[in-house]
Amino acid sequence: MSKLAIRLLTLAMFSMALIAVPMLTSVYAAGGDNPAPPASDSGKEKKKGDKSSSIDDPKFIEGYRTAYTTIYDRNDYASAIGQLKALGQDDRADVANLIGYSYRKLGDYKVSQIWYERALKADPNHVRTWQYYGLWQLEQGNRDQAQYHLNRIGKLCGADCAEYRSLAAALEKPPGTGLVY
């Protein structure tokens, strides 16, 4: 094999590795229809006989996905709150964030704030909560606080992540333009 062929093969393999690595890693902090393991669970062993729902519990995952669908596909926020609370995992960042989002969409900003703060207490690096809480801040007219949330997101996932771009776009709009998120 010639030196040129070896170099091309090495370059091709390196390029493929650069493409494959991001696809193999999981990003939990952003949120989605699959809940992330609680931040406090890392490194802890589960006690024998512990029957609390875990990230691997199919009933929990199914219930979470049902609530997620209820929120984002059906816009039935009141039902979703009940579904999420029934999971018994209110202190999980993904769950608390969705409860906060649902209360915000129902217009109950005080209760929504409590749930966003609960989510951030469970996981201070939960990017989706920083995004949603930043949008909450904008809806309340707190542009400086929303900018703080945007900066926090930037530190966690960079300016290219969807949560950063979403909040940045909302901040670019003039105050009082009737944000709807």
- CATH number at 108 reads 1.25.40.10
Which residues have C-beta within 8 Å of that of residue 54, sequence separation ≥ 6?
46, 60
**8 lies in some domain:** no
Q: Same domain, yes or no, for 148 and 112?
A: no
Choosing from 84, 107, 124, the residue where a domain stops is 124
Look at residue 106 and tell me if it is in a domain.
yes
Helix (H/G/I), strand (E/B), else coil: 178:
coil
Reduced to 3 states (helix: H, G, I; strand: E, B; else coil), residue 118 is helix
Residues 75 and 73: their CA atoms lie apart, in Å, by 6
Q: Is the pLDDT of residue 154 over 60?
A: yes
CA separation for the pair 181, 170 (Å, rounded): 9
- 76 assigned to some structural domain: yes
Q: Which amino acid is at 75?
A: N
Last residue of a domain, one of 109, 124, 139: 124
Tokens 């003039």 correspond to 174
The whole-number pLDDT of residue 139 equals 93
3-state SS string over 38-58? CHHHCCCCCCCCCCCCCCCCH
Say if 155 falls within a structural domain: yes
- Single out the residue in 107, 124, 141 at which a domain terminates: 124
Residues 89 and 130 in one domain: no
User: Of all helices (H) and strands (E), which one includes residue 123?
Assistant: none
Q: Which residues form the domain of 141?
A: 125-181
Q: What does the pLDDT look like over 7-34, one tens digit per residue?
A: 766 666 656 655 644 443 333 334 466 6
Whether residue 149 is contained in a domain is answered as: yes
| Residue range 33-52: mean pLDDT, rounded | 47
Task: Note the pLDDT of residue 23.
Answer: 40
Tokens at 1, concatenated: 């094999």
- Number of domains composing the chain: 2
What value does the mean pLDDT take over residues 74-89? 96
Do residues 83 and 141 both lie within one domain? Answer: no
Specify whether 74 is located in the same domain as 112.
Answer: yes
Residue-level pLDDT at 11: 65
- What does the angle CA 143 – CA 123 – CA 138 come to, to the nearest 5 degrees? 15
